[in-house]
Amino acid sequence: MPSKLDRLRDVLRVPPGKSINLKRDYDPGYTGDFAKKKDAQELLAAGIQQMAEYQSQLYAQNTYSLLIILQAMDAAGKDGVIKHVMSGVNPQGMQVFSFKAPSDEELDHDYLWRNFKALPERGRIGIFNRSYYEEVLVVRVHPQILERQRLPPELKGKGIWKRRFDEINAFEKYLSQNGSVVLKFFLNVSKAEQKKRFLERIELPEKNWKFSADDVQERAHWDEYQAAYEDMLNHTSTNHAPWYVVPADHKWFTRLAVAAVINQTLRDLKLAYPVISEEHQQELLKSKELLENEA
């Protein structure tokens, strides 16, 4: 992919160990070197094709797995990213998990338990549509959710968020040291654009199903969510699992940026189809002969 997109990855990455300010440093309306959708269309199509090729090698190699985490406020475009960006990829090598409020059984375990079961196997790309990061987002914004978690009381108090950041960093380090590549995207939509998209969901009958009255209630906590996201980004963007803040007010740019970061990450793995052994090569020749000599 051209360098225009290469630069983008550095612009969007939350630098590990540095302190960012979401509002000051990341503009939800940013579109990089691209003025309009049309400028990006060809690149996105090429990016999707390239991703399909990388994914095919990832699958054949069966060594690495790629875990993509998507976090965002409602209507930021998570679903659209999954649908469009992954459209060229072979469904056999893909899996998507959407994490909702935990079930009774899940609440009887530690919060990472349900995530373990959903991790992509080697050779696969797995998407977490929301993730264990909700444990430092929605749970932080709504203390009553933490109240309902069956933690020992002495573990619910002060210091819990810092502890969870540390736990998550350790978990992701463990994954990366075992062949999983972890990529995390925060789709950064503005409050004004979210309102526009909610109104559209209310006004257009075919979009009504996407809207829930709860979404407006969550919106009332906008500033608390932004603060929780900022703290999360500042504590959990690491070299082994960096966060990317993707501008989300223009859907076409969101998709282009996510595809670019995924492709550059896969490119860095230097994937290749497995080299056939001498023995396998002989077998291929033998089979060819058999087929050709069939009566």
User: By C-beta, is 129 or 236 nearer to ligand ATP?
Assistant: 129
Full strand arrangement of the beta sheet holding 180-188: 94-98, 125-129, 65-72, 180-188, 243-247
Taking the complex as a whole, the smallest distance from the CB of residue 70 to ligand ATP amounts, in Å, to 9
Neighbours of 163 (CB within 10 A): 11
Taking the complex as a whole, the smallest distance from the CB of residue 27 to ligand ATP amounts, in Å, to 23
Measured torsion, CA atoms of residues 32, 245, 255, 57, in degrees rounded to the nearest 10:
110
Length of the chain: 295
User: By C-beta, is 9 or 142 nearer to ligand ATP?
Assistant: 142
Cβ(258)–Cβ(12) below 8 Å: no
Residues in the interface with Mg ion (CB under 5 A) total: 1
Distance of CA 158 to the CA centre of its chain: 29
Residue type, 106: E
Question: What is the SS3 assignment for 110?
Answer: coil
User: By C-beta, is 74 or 134 nearer to Mg ion?
Assistant: 74
User: By C-beta, is 129 or 188 nearer to ligand ATP?
Assistant: 129
User: By C-beta, is 134 or 172 nearer to ligand ATP?
Assistant: 134
Which residue of 130, 173, 221, 235 would you call a contact of ligand ATP, by CB under 6 A? 130
* Nearest residue relative to ligand ATP (C-beta): 134
DSSP label at 66? E
Taking the complex as a whole, the smallest distance from the CB of residue 80 to ligand ATP amounts, in Å, to 10
230 vs 234: CA distance, rounded Å: 6
| Non-local CB neighbours of 255 within 8 Å, separated by 6+ positions | 44, 77, 80, 81, 84, 85
Residue whose tokens read 């998550």? 168
Residues in the interface with ligand ATP (CB under 6 A) total: 13
Site string for ligand ATP, 137-156 (x = CB under 6 A): -xx-----x-----------
Taking the complex as a whole, the smallest distance from the CB of residue 129 to ligand ATP amounts, in Å, to 6
Taking the complex as a whole, the smallest distance from the CB of residue 79 to ligand ATP amounts, in Å, to 5
Taking the complex as a whole, the smallest distance from the CB of residue 290 to ligand ATP amounts, in Å, to 53
243 vs 14: CA distance, rounded Å: 6
User: By C-beta, is 145 or 160 nearer to Mg ion?
Assistant: 145
Ranges within 48-107 binding ligand ATP (CB under 6 A): 74, 79, 99-102
Question: In DSSP terms, which residues pair with 72 in a beta bridge?
Answer: 187
Binding site for Mg ion (CB under 5 A): 74
Binding site for ligand ATP (CB under 6 A): 74, 79, 99-102, 129-130, 134-135, 138-139, 145
